[in-house]
Amino acid sequence: MTASASTLLRTAAELAGYAPEGERSGRAVVMTMGALHEGHASLIQTARAVIGPAGQVVVTVFVNPLQFGEAADLDRYPRTLDADLAVAGAAGADVVFAPSVDEVYPGGEPQVRISAGPMGERLEGASRPGHFDGMLTVVAKLLHLTRPDIALFGQKDAQQLALIRRMVRDLNFPVEILGVETAREPDGLALSSRNRFLDVYERHTALALSRALFAARDRLAAQQALHARAQTTGATEGRAAGLTRLGEARLAADAQAVARARPDGGPAAVRAAARAVLDEAAADHPPLALDYLALVDPADFTEIPDDRTAGDAILAVAARVGATRLIDNIPLTFGATA
């Protein structure tokens, strides 16, 4: 199989017969709903690098009806299989497995499904009830059908990735789950199949999502850098007060900022930095309609309290611009030193 071609398979029987277990050195799978873009290509390229030239890369293309709350959203989702084949092949996929709904759900919608549990009811789960149950159900089925050694998912869907990891661990799936960094446009917008629905003005407004996340990241980095200076210079409130008495207002302000800097940057400060950008975008034309901004623990997606001083976090945002709903997130680490 060359890097510029991939085989299209439509049934589980075809996939099972394509590469018998003893004839390959490993299989990596990238699950998609089609409408492939450079973000998907990055996942496929990573899959090829991880599994090696002798391994097999399978890309699944399946628009899962169980993940859609409204029929209109399901009907609106783009189907671009011919283009998907080209993107997958160019990125290094051997196989594109694109089954029909009847192939995945013979006899209609499944009566037995996987429950996402409490984590699946938060954030995206609250906005889209039942979404994660449907997602986990189809991921479980596709893991059984494709039998991969490694499955790769994008960090952009951070809650989805966390739930898949939890399902694999809790239900003893024999597969390694690998998260891949979010792919972005040069201006920072996270790549998404939904971006094609944005007109030029909506796309400008949508940039507020990534700008808000980057503003929060920069606020955290600045606070941690100031704290590192305080540790080195021994800056204190007393020094700031002394500089004020000497009339050195600028130096006093700097000394005070250093003295008050916390090693974690403060969860409240991080949230405030992001929200300032989002509030400004809410007054844009067209406006950004915020669904949620949440700073959460990556283990269970519960909100991180303002007194958290150390540990990993995910800052996640969801908003609607026009008729298009977008999500984005960024990982953060509190308590790090510059």
Report which of 168, 124, 126, 125 is spatially closest to residue 31, judged by C-alpha positions: 168
- What CA–CA distance (Å, rounded) separates 228 from 225? 5
Strand pairing class (311-321; 288-296): antiparallel
Alpha-carbon Rg of the chain, whole angstroms?
A: 23
Q: Which residue among the candidates 40, 131, 227, 285 is catalytic per the annotation? A: 40
| CA–CA dist 270, 256 (Å, integer) | 19
Q: Which one-letter DSSP state was computed for residue 184? A: B
Nearest of 128, 127, 297, 288 to residue 211 by alpha carbon = 288
85 C-beta neighbours (distance < 10 Å), count: 20
Count of helices and strands (H, E) across the chain: 12, 9
67 neighbors 109 (Cβ within 8 angstroms): no
Residue 308 three-state SS: coil
Cα(195)–Cα(39) distance, integer angstroms: 12
At 332 the three-state DSSP class reads: strand
Greatest pairwise CA separation for the chain in angstroms: 82
What lies within 8 Å, CB to CB, of 7 at 6+ separation is 1, 18, 94, 95, 96
If DSSP codes are grouped into helix, strand and coil, which group holds residue 179?
strand
Burial 115-141 (b: 16+ CB within 10 A, else e): ebbebbbbbbbeebebbbbbbbbbbbb
Distance of CA 113 to the CA centre of its chain: 24
**What is the edge-to-edge ordering of all strands in the sheet holding 27-32?**
7-9, 95-97, 56-61, 27-32, 150-154, 176-180
Known catalytic membership, residue 40? yes
Taking a C-beta distance cutoff of 8 angstroms, is the pair 190, 209 a contact?
yes
Catalytic residues: 40
